[in-house]
Structure 1
Amino acid sequence: MASTDAAPPWLRTPDDANALAPKVWPERAHRDADGRLVLGGIPVTELAERFGTPLYVVDEADVRARAARMLAALQTAAASVGTSATVYYAGKAFLSGAIVRWVTEAGLGVDVCSGGELAIALAAGAEPARIGFHGNNKSVAEIERAVAAGVGTIVIDSEIEIERVADAAARAGLVQRVRLRVNSGVHASTHEFLATSHEDQKFGVSLDRAVELGTRIRSHPSLDFLGLHCHIGSQIFDSAGFAESAERLLAAHAELARVSPLPELNLGGGFGIAYTAADDPTPIEEIALGIAEAVATGCRVHGVPLPKLAFEPGRSVVGTAGVTLYTVGTVKPVPIEGGWRHYASVDGGMSDNLRTALYGAHYSARIASRESDAPPALFRIAGKHCESGDIVVDAEYLPHDVTPGDLLAVAATGAYCWSLANNYNHVPRPAVVAVRDGAARVIVRGETEADLLARDAGLDASDRSDAAEGADA
């Protein structure tokens, strides 16, 4: 009953529906002699037996290696044109105490965008001076907390924040380093970008006000203006969009730099990863060199000194290192035009991976507890939630004999899956387990039904006790 008619154009029928696409899975992921997927030296069947499913699994060595490679690539590219680079890990991708330690030990700073993210970064030992604080609506309390903590840079996102940050720093008797987020009019995604004259979005200020607002920042003795900041998009596969954005920013940068030194230019993040075998991002070393050369060229054109560069990668550090494990519950073929589509429903869904429903994101999946000689069939991996849009993987070829009880692994879930996790239908959020060298440990505890009940102020102790007994039964 397999059919390729309904498959999206980018999805190719595989020669082997058990094979792991190299760019999609953690670098050391493989199948053992029994056909089981192995992550961090541990068969996933052992992880599922020990921790249950759904389960987020993060390959620690993979995260550390990608962080180190990212830092080396950006710093080497900057050095090749005569400057330096600072790299922050964008915590919104996935932030926990363990992740903070891994990336900071690799030499990265940490970028946060809420009071909660700041609290995690500080509690995990991140050096405050190496933290950047983003956000389009930072509260006065959050700004005051960041200033008091000694956060290295606050990214000013709107005109009103200039006064708020300046006032908080003045009252604390400190000089706060800041950047100004600017919309360059460049929107980038994968290998395409669109350049417009204006941007209609909630982040940043328009490019035509950059000099005016930068001058206003400089008028406050409690602020130290480092430079302009821009973020052009996500899942960017090459340097073209970054180069166009840098060219636009450098006109404003040069005007400000001619008045007094402007030491830095922050070009944000957005470097893409492969979610499917069809994705082919350019190596970060090539992207980094392309960006650095574009900035150097722009500075020569404008006749200003080359600034230090700063970047904020997140997904490209942690995304590929993460895999989510599920248990298949039901399997059913559904007749569609031109053939059949097979639905495999798993024990998670949009509560642990919202990106498919939210963005139409594509993912890759494999049966992880065994290999199969069955021919490939077109599958859609559905979640357990009472929502027709609850899809984890929209289209994937899996062996035709997928059956209830199989373990299913979805690749490249390290970024924005745990971060966006929720309790829809009162489903507890899964645990996050780190694996490395044959050892596994919980780095974020999974929720239980008791956790959900404990937050419900409309229940008393006896209600919770009765519910717990029912769950145990």
Structure 2
Amino acid sequence: MLISDCLSCNDAGHLVISGCDTVDLARQYGTPLYVMSEDKIRETCRRYVSSFQTNYGGNGRPIYASKAFSCKEIYRIVLSEGLDVEVVSGGELYTALQAGVPASKIHFQGNNKSIGEIVYAVESGVGDIVVDHPSELMQIQRAAAENSTVASISFRIKPGIDAHTHDFIRTGQIDSKFGIDLISGEAMEAVRTALTMDHIVLKGLHCHIGSQILEKEPFVHAAEVMLDFYAQIRDELGVVFEHLNLGGGFGIKYRDEDLTIPYEEYMAAVSVAVHSKCKAKELPTPKIFIEPGRSIVGEAGITLYTVGSVKEIPGVRNYVTIDGGMFDNPRYALYQADYTCLIANKADQPADYIATIAGKCCESGDLIQEHTALQTPMEGDLLVVLSTGAYNYSMASNYNRNLKPACVMVSEGESRIVIKAETYEDLVRNDV
């Protein structure tokens, strides 16, 4: 029921995260409130780093996919644990640089980077601009020429693999807005073009097949397909690339019934395929990158809410209203994402009350979960949603002019603010 090993229940029956009583956190910081376990984040980072030593002799590195959760403090934490950083917008790039991430350790993704973002990346000296389309390649060439520099790039390739996940988060198949198609020959032509450019150095290729994947086989297949392409490039163009980025998408536990795979098993299975394919094709093993995001921060985060009214409609459903909603977590409204919810101040009691968790937005679809089991709720109780560390704060909005909540980082019983709660003054700051 508690999903993550950073969570526990104390003698008062309250939910505890990394030694901090959630009831105390709500009293101190208010609700809604994002809470992140620094201990859990660091532990997961270290597991990934260790797996590269085990499987590749250190020839590679995990890259934190910061679209899952972006703020200055998370960049500082992952950098200190030996990870590179992936960004997907000028805003994420700016935040990472402000947090002290060296530009050489930044990988800039995105399917439609603006001219301004490309120029910013080139001028900042970003270590790897991941090109999503041939037209973007031309834009980077121009920006690098104007700055009298050489831009380091890789290509995002669509390997034609359809991972078993929600339609909205499948990204490796041919019908995707992301990347350059492998099967049609578009990718080979892009490689040929890049190799002729004097302000571009093509260092490797990238693929990403989807998110919240709970199987090893799609990752193994993607590695094999990409290395076959590496061998084709070597044979036809005489070029051997420096690195291969196999993306992320490793699944996490949102519910007890989610059959997650230890990250080490993903890594081991893929490494066997990489070493085997490289040996068969007589390729030197490239430096391997992966891009975990959700799996680093997802289970490390929870969101706390105060229960408002409890509306019981006999024979229909029970609505438990909270002081947050789709403005701080839109994932259920977007694609019916599963979550585990409980009453944090009654965490030791049986979850025998079936409820629909309703947000405060003026929108009938503003729900967090439907027909989910809770401890019997009352007005003023503290409701918690588990595994909200990824794609909650990062997707938050000011819908209905609601305020984005604060985010607190906790470690060994201590807490600190890493993102301040918005104020009404923040809401009108840019109004004219």
TM-score (norm 2): 0.94
Distance 1:191 1:420 in 2: 17
For residue 157 of structure 1, the aligned residue among 116, 132, 147 is 132
Contact 1:191/1:238 (8 A) holds in 2: no
For residue 18 of structure 2, the aligned residue among 27, 34, 40 is 40
DSSP 3-state at the match of 2:427: helix
Distance 1:403 1:197 in 2: 45
Tell me the CA shift for residue 190 of structure 1: 5.6
Cα distance, 1:150–1:240 mapped onto 2, change above 3 Å? same
Distance 1:65 1:75 in 2: 16
Contact 1:349/1:391 (8 A) holds in 2: yes
Superposed, which structure 2 residues align to 1:71-220 within 5 Å?
Answer: 71-79=49-57, 84-189=59-164, 199-207=174-182, 208-220=185-197
1:250 and 2:227 are equivalent in the alignment: yes
Distance 1:375 1:266 in 2: 43
Aligned to 1:387: 363
Contact 1:362/1:394 (8 A) holds in 2: no
Contact 1:53/1:347 (8 A) holds in 2: yes
1:368 and 2:344 are equivalent in the alignment: yes
Distance 1:230 1:284 in 2: 18
Unaligned runs of 5+ in 2: none
Equivalent position amino acid for 2:103 in 1: P
Distance 2:38 2:313 in 1: 39
Tell me the CA shift for residue 428 of structure 1: 0.6
Contact 2:298/2:390 (8 A) holds in 1: yes
Tell me the CA shift for residue 137 of structure 1: 1.2
Aligned to 1:306: 285
Contact 1:184/1:206 (8 A) holds in 2: yes
1:344 and 2:348 are equivalent in the alignment: no
DSSP 3-state at the match of 2:164: strand
For residue 228 of structure 1, the aligned residue among 202, 205, 215 is 205
Cα distance, 1:353–1:198 mapped onto 2, change above 3 Å? closer
Distance 1:395 1:148 in 2: 51
Distance 1:391 1:74 in 2: 40
Contact 2:163/2:172 (8 A) holds in 1: no
DSSP 3-state at the match of 1:166: helix
Aligned to 1:64: 42
Contact 1:227/1:253 (8 A) holds in 2: no
Residues matched between the structures, number: 427
Contact 1:162/1:217 (8 A) holds in 2: yes
Tell me the CA shift for residue 375 of structure 1: 6.3
Contact 1:55/1:430 (8 A) holds in 2: yes
TM-score (norm 1): 0.86
Distance 1:373 1:172 in 2: 63
For residue 440 of structure 1, the aligned residue among 412, 415, 418 is 415
DSSP 3-state at the match of 1:432: strand
Aligned to 1:396: 372
Unaligned runs of 5+ in 1: 1-19, 458-473
Aligned to 1:271: 250
1:37-87 deviations in whole A, cap 9, x for unaligned? 1122221111111111000001111111111112222442223xxx72221
Contact 1:324/1:413 (8 A) holds in 2: yes
Contact 2:171/2:208 (8 A) holds in 1: no
Tell me the CA shift for residue 110 of structure 1: 0.5
Tell me the CA shift for residue 191 of structure 1: 12
Distance 1:391 1:350 in 2: 7
Tell me the CA shift for residue 374 of structure 1: 5.9
1:129-149 deviations in whole A, cap 9, x for unaligned? 110001111122211211121
Tell me the CA shift for residue 175 of structure 1: 1.9
Equivalent position amino acid for 2:372 in 1: E
Greater gyration radius: 1
Equivalent position amino acid for 1:167 in 2: R
Aligned to 2:311: 332
Cα distance, 1:75–1:356 mapped onto 2, change above 3 Å? farther
DSSP 3-state at the match of 2:35: strand
1:359-393 deviations in whole A, cap 9, x for unaligned? 21000011101346566122221111111111112
Contact 1:183/1:230 (8 A) holds in 2: yes
Equivalent position amino acid for 2:176 in 1: Q
